[in-house]
Structure formats: structure tokens, C-alpha cells
């Protein structure tokens, strides 16, 4: 082997070993970067998916791309692209929180309206049921009347529970339950031709 060949071989081997060392040096930062963004995404994914679903899909795709790069041992790509993915996740979380705050304001308005309208609706329905004295309204069979009363009682109980248990922690769930109760009672009232006082 010529002196030139030995020098070339030594240089090539040194470059290869340096490449391996550089790759190994980037593995740990890559693993840490991926783990950090996956943890943050896991903690905030429900909120992001609920309020900004299109951004959720984008972030999920970028994290999957990081995982693919990690599997192919492209640690440099993971380190480089993790920062952009994390930035996108931070912006999505901020957007989701703004949307959630807007939704809460709308729900507060809705709750105030429910608090005003539901007692009148329930009063009108209770009056109608009492006035029937156990008999079904004209044109309705006994079984259907019994079923209608059962549905009304369930919706009224759901409203009462929502109104009694509403707190800052249960606010969203309570409003959703009250909204559902109102829709059911309104449908029964329409079927029976009952108007709220």
C-alpha cells in the first residue's frame, strides 16, 4: 500500500469516526427534544384538539415527522425541526386558550338566558301535566303520554342538577347539560302546544 493510500485511508477513517461521534453527540439532544415536545403535546392535546382541531392535525403531523427522523437516526434533523414544532405547539396552545375564553364568554351569556327562560318553561309544563289529571291529552295514547312525562321529568331533573351543581370547574359541563335539557323540554312543549308563561 502506498504512502498516499495510507494517508487517504487514515483521513477517511478519521472523518468517519468524527461523523459517528457527531452523530452520537446529537442523539441525546434529539431524544430530549422529542421527549419534551411529546410531553407538552400530551398535556395540551385535548384542549388544542377541541378548540383548534386544524392546528392539532398539523402538530401531530410535525411530531410524527420528528419520530420518523429519530427512527432513521437523523438526529440533526430532529434537533433542528423540534424547535419549529415546539414553536407551532406553543402558538396552537395560545390560540386554543383564546378560543376557550371566547367560548366561556358565550356560555356565560347562554347560562344567563337559560336561568331566565327555564323556570317559565318548567312552570308551563308542570301546569299542563297537572291539568291533565293523569289523563293523556286529546289525540294521544296513554302509553305515549306516560313516555312524554318520563322524558320531561328526566330533562327537568337534568336542568335542576345542572343549576344546583354549577361551579367554575363544572361550568362548561353544566351549561351543556342545561342546553340539552332545554332542547328536550322545548320539543315536548312544541309537541303538546304548550307555551311558556
The domain locations on the chain are 3-99, 104-192
**Given this model, what pLDDT does residue 8 score?**
46
Cα separation, 10 vs 131, in Å, equals: 102
- Counting runs of H as helices and runs of E as strands, what totals does the chain give? 5, 0
Please state the pTM of the whole predicted model: 0.66
**Given this model, what pLDDT does residue 5 score?**
54
pLDDT > 70 fraction of the chain, expressed in percent and rounded: 87
pLDDT band at 17 (very low <50, low <70, confident <90, very high): very low
* Average of per-residue pLDDT values in the chain: 86
Mean pLDDT, to the nearest integer, of 12-22?
44
Amino acid at each position: 500500500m502506498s504512502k498516499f493510500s495510507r494517508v487517504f485511508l487514515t483521513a477517511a477513517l478519521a472523518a468517519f469516526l468524527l461523523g459517528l461521534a457527531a452523530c452520537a453527540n446529537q442523539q441525546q439532544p434529539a431524544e430530549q427534544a422529542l421527549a419534551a415536545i411529546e410531553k407538552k403535546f400530551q398535556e395540551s392535546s385535548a384542549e388544542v384538539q377541541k378548540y383548534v382541531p386544524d392546528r392539532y392535525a398539523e402538530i401531530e403531523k410535525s411530531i410524527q415527522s420528528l419520530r420518523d427522523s429519530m427512527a432513521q437516526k437523523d438526529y440533526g434533523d430532529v434537533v433542528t425541526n423540534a424547535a419549529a414544532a415546539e414553536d407551532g405547539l406553543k402558538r396552537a396552545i395560545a390560540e386554543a386558550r383564546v378560543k376557550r375564553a371566547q367560548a366561556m364568554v358565550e356560555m356565560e351569556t347562554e347560562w344567563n338566558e337559560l336561568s331566565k327562560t327555564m323556570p317559565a318553561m318548567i312552570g308551563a309544563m308542570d301546569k299542563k301535566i297537572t291539568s291533565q289529571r293523569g289523563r293523556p291529552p286529546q289525540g294521544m295514547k296513554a302509553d305515549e303520554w306516560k313516555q312524554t312525562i318520563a322524558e320531561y321529568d328526566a330533562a327537568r331533573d337534568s336542568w335542576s342538577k345542572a343549576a344546583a351543581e354549577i361551579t367554575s370547574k363544572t361550568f362548561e359541563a353544566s351549561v351543556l347539560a342545561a342546553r340539552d335539557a332545554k332542547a328536550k323540554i322545548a320539543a315536548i312543549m312544541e309537541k303538546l302546544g304548550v307555551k311558556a308563561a
